Amino acid sequence: MARLDCKDIDSSPNIKKDELINSYFNTAECKEETLGIEEMRKSINTVQEPAGEATPSYWQTEISNARRQAQEALEGQQAAEKERELIRAEYEAVLDRCGELQAELSQLRAEQNQEKQQQQERLQAQISLLEHEKASMQLAAKHREEKFSRAVQKRDEAERERGEALEEMYSVMDRCDELKQKLRVAQTYLPEAVP
């Protein structure tokens, strides 16, 4: 089939759906649109044949609507991906801070004597609880990753997932801050270690 140009659409009264679609995807304009092409193809292929005779303007309108819907879906997907990367970066920052607190606890153990053992055990229990919450967050993050792969175009779902992740992240950050404060208090007020 010969390639059709956009200028031929209005002058060709018997253009078929497949011909018009192939014509569009062979245009220079289409080739410049490197994002969302597959989504646009899927959207256009869902266009139903009309009950009566289809006119070129009918297919132009349907393809225009399909392009707009595909662009909106692509923008939603990109926004969801960006939000997911932000959440992942914030989550990794929390994990790094937890690691720093664990390092501080290890240093405190080396400097303290036998009288501080009970307090160290209490701090270790808090660290264990934090580790449990971290594992739960990792599992939840894995589930969210799988969910994103199935619904990247649903921006409303991405917003809800982001809210849940932020709430969990801030909760862990609060716990980290509390633990840091307790470590400072322990270093300030407990007696010096016996050599």
Range picked from 47-51, 157-161, 162-166 for highest mean pLDDT: 162-166
CA–CA separation, 63 and 15 (whole Å) = 14
Q: Is the pTM of this model over 0.85?
A: no
Q: How far apart are the first and last CA of the chain?
A: 91
CA–CA separation, 152 and 145 (whole Å) = 10
Residue 166 buriedness (CB in 10 A; 0-12 / 13-18 / 19+) = middle
* pLDDT tens digits, 180-192: 888 888 878 666 6
Q: What residue ranges do the domains of the chain occupy?
A: 6-72, 78-189
Cα dihedral sign for 108, 109, 111, 116?
A: positive
Number of residues that make up the chain? 195
Give residue 62's pLDDT: 79
pLDDT(32) > 60: no
